[in-house]
Structure 1
């Protein structure tokens, strides 16, 4: 299930980044007294009363008043890009928090942002979407809290007086946010296998999507970065419902342009988060790049299963050893994903494209596999007998027993004498021992150590 998105918007210097840091519980956003410090969005996870959601911080929306000095003095040359990104955040959001400044009163810039929010809202089931909560920030003392009533003038409902800096009123505001999030029953997506197609720009993701669905359902262009949104395409394969998610390409952080492309990266990361299996597409004509490894890292951090697709295989001069050499090179570059299957395809000609969905579904089966406790403990005992863990402190790690506590992804709880004695290389050794008995193809497995009381 994709987590709901809460967007923070407003004119410059009303405290959006301060509230963002307060909600996510750590200082991720730069806070500065110069208006316009935040140019790009930050996105992070927050939770309130058991309800997880994503919070996105946006740059300040400057009024479009010709000839006037911009409010974002720190980012004057980026005003239009900042505005475009904020507008996309509004379109994607499930809830919008519109921040204003209690100490400044209602300003023309606030009025323009309020009008923009009304234009962006659409009516769904008789209600405006996304819902907008008016947040009057910097209400640090009672007199300013009483002045919050003047913001009824904006026509966006009841003002919620808070102080993001001092934490005043945050709990009441979060109660309102949670009340406006999609109910769990409605937020749950159809029980379909969600497969995200990810990779650098112009590796052929949209071409593959069109091959898989059998029709031109996505724009295909030789220009890098044509796809900007994450597009869901439901299909059925041999009676199994599948949702294919085509995403924009991810470039190196320094190569990301301000504006639309930057926000598309966040959409791609959200697509990775909500998929079951990621199809990581590589370009056979360029080989594995550092950015391919970064994307693989994003997938690994999200604990998602993955299939590596080497596209444009038709454009590579080959002999009998070429595929084996490419496979070895990919294994070396993505050495932290040695359990991942590799498939050489051509989305242009259709070569081996018919094997993509069966392989992805096989990987999904492995993701849901459960290893019996007795079998797991035989593996752990044999691993200890073959290679006793060493310790520089004179005290060695002892494994008592383990059990698989969940699937999706497979997670093993292992009881030991002291988790601090486990070196990461020994954990990798245990993982390899498990995979020798049951490979969990294409799927990360998690080992959680717990002391036995």
Structure 2
């Protein structure tokens, strides 16, 4: 019988770990009581969740005690369970909100090699809303919201667990995809006749022209596994996107549609321009939509070996990109020749660097030290004489990087100030010219002080 993947449930005492354990195994194997510390030893059981089978471990409530004491020995058992697990479910009590022990557990888990899924238990109703918002400060992204007692939110838990547990031999888990050693998923898009097919063939070192589809049949983008200087690349080929069209407008629509289909599979997108034609409106539309989808973008001027007035052309395209792409300034602009191969190595090097920035995560401490300096250098405005108080900033996700800003009256924070923060994050924290998302959140507790 195949060994099942393992899930450990971790959290401070009395957040509902044993209740969730019982819910997952389908029977009351673990004792449950309102008294904290009922569970001491690790308890294991076979879980079945919407067709997903795994081994689940119920751990003792994590307490910061000396190792010679009983709570300290219980904590050691909990730490051992997490080390053995494929993924850990970090439970917090959404109704109680975040307490110092939750923050202590979060610091320990961030230093662990085990992937962590944050779970906000007891999240049903309005009573748990504040705790859910506070949990973002722990640095594990948006929590899975559920009620272990009532069985609400198990579908969301299934979706969070699936990448870590299902089909590990065939499908790379999400954590592996974020590894710098994982294949770079690179899509090459652009208008017809920009030279995509020639560039793909030059990269692969063989004539592998993808012919267009039969009339009326939509073609999926094709992934070609390839190695460049010992590094793995999964090339998303859109070379065959051309379709017969009598009207130029229709051809452009098909061009954009196929390019965006390739974007769905990519991490970094290379927008290939024809240097003999410069930057056209349709190129900007494609670039803008790539950034709106949250993908990292690199622009490459092809046919550079036959371009006229090269310096003037380069500067003109760069200025037009900065002006036309309001989301991101300073998108990398490269020059290549698919015909001769010149510039391809530099293009791929920049593509890997761009993915690193797109996947970057900044520690909460470093992020908030930067945040304090940013608001000290340029305090937020006070519309109507009422001060906007910005409390803290946390990175909720990567790929693309997303940040959540907490404070009072943040709904009145001007767009210009939000751009100031986003531009500073890119400039000072190593994100470069990748799309950065900033979400504003204020406490929803009607009795909270503003």
| Superposition TM-score, scaled by structure 1 size | 0.52
Segments of structure 1 that go 5 or more residues without pairing to the other structure are 1-48, 52-177, 222-226
1:185 to 151, 167, 171: 167
8 Å Cα contact 2:331-2:433 kept in structure 1: yes
8 Å Cα contact 1:370-1:410 kept in structure 2: yes
Q: Structure 1, residues 285-323: CA drift from partner, whole Å, max 9, x if none? A: 222211111111211121001111111222222366553
2:194: which partner in 1?
Answer: 203
1:367: which partner in 2?
Answer: 358
Compute the displacement of 1:185 (Å).
2.8
1:232 pairs with 2:223:
yes
Aligned length: 269
Q: Structure 1, residues 103-159: CA drift from partner, whole Å, max 9, x if none? A: xxxxxxxxxxxxxxxxxxxxxxxxxxxxxxxxxxxxxxxxxxxxxxxxxxxxxxxxx
C-alpha distance in structure 2 between counterparts of 1:263 and 1:324, whole Å = 29
8 Å Cα contact 1:250-1:268 kept in structure 2: no
Q: 1:211 to 1:409 in 2, by over 3 A?
A: same
Q: 1:345 to 1:228 in 2, by over 3 A?
A: farther
Q: RMSD across aligned C-alpha pairs, in angstroms? A: 3.6
Q: What SS class does the counterpart of residue 317 from structure 1 fall into?
A: coil
1:214: which partner in 2?
Answer: 205
2:348: which partner in 1?
Answer: 357
Q: Structure 1, residues 158-212: CA drift from partner, whole Å, max 9, x if none? A: xxxxxxxxxxxxxxxxxxxx9xxx9963883685221110111111111111111
Compute the displacement of 1:330 (Å).
3.1
Q: What SS class does the counterpart of residue 299 from structure 1 fall into?
A: helix
1:403: which partner in 2?
Answer: 394
8 Å Cα contact 2:189-2:271 kept in structure 1: yes
1:61-100 equivalent positions in 2, closer than 5 A: none
Q: What SS class does the counterpart of residue 234 from structure 1 fall into?
A: strand
1:380: which partner in 2?
Answer: 371
For structure 1, which segment, 408-417 or 438-447, has the greater mean C-alpha deviation from structure 2 after superposition? Answer: 438-447
1:448 pairs with 2:431:
no
1:340: which partner in 2?
Answer: 331
Q: 1:234 to 1:319 in 2, by over 3 A?
A: closer
1:308 to 299, 305, 309: 299
Q: 1:265 to 1:342 in 2, by over 3 A?
A: closer
C-alpha distance in structure 1 between counterparts of 2:310 and 2:235, whole Å = 33
1:417 to 386, 408, 426: 408
C-alpha distance in structure 2 between counterparts of 1:412 and 1:204, whole Å = 37
Q: 1:356 to 1:319 in 2, by over 3 A?
A: closer
Segments of structure 2 that go 5 or more residues without pairing to the other structure are 1-49, 53-158, 213-217
C-alpha distance in structure 2 between counterparts of 1:317 and 1:410, whole Å = 38
1:163: which partner in 2?
Answer: none
Compute the displacement of 1:256 (Å).
5.2
Q: 1:344 to 1:409 in 2, by over 3 A?
A: same
Q: What SS class does the counterpart of residue 369 from structure 1 fall into?
A: coil
Q: What SS class does the counterpart of residue 440 from structure 2 fall into?
A: strand
Q: 1:358 to 1:209 in 2, by over 3 A?
A: same
Compute the displacement of 1:428 (Å).
0.9
8 Å Cα contact 2:276-2:308 kept in structure 1: no
For structure 1, which segment, 267-276 or 204-213, has the greater mean C-alpha deviation from structure 2 after superposition? Answer: 267-276
Compute the displacement of 1:401 (Å).
1.0
8 Å Cα contact 2:388-2:408 kept in structure 1: yes
8 Å Cα contact 2:192-2:255 kept in structure 1: no
C-alpha distance in structure 2 between counterparts of 1:292 and 1:231, whole Å = 22
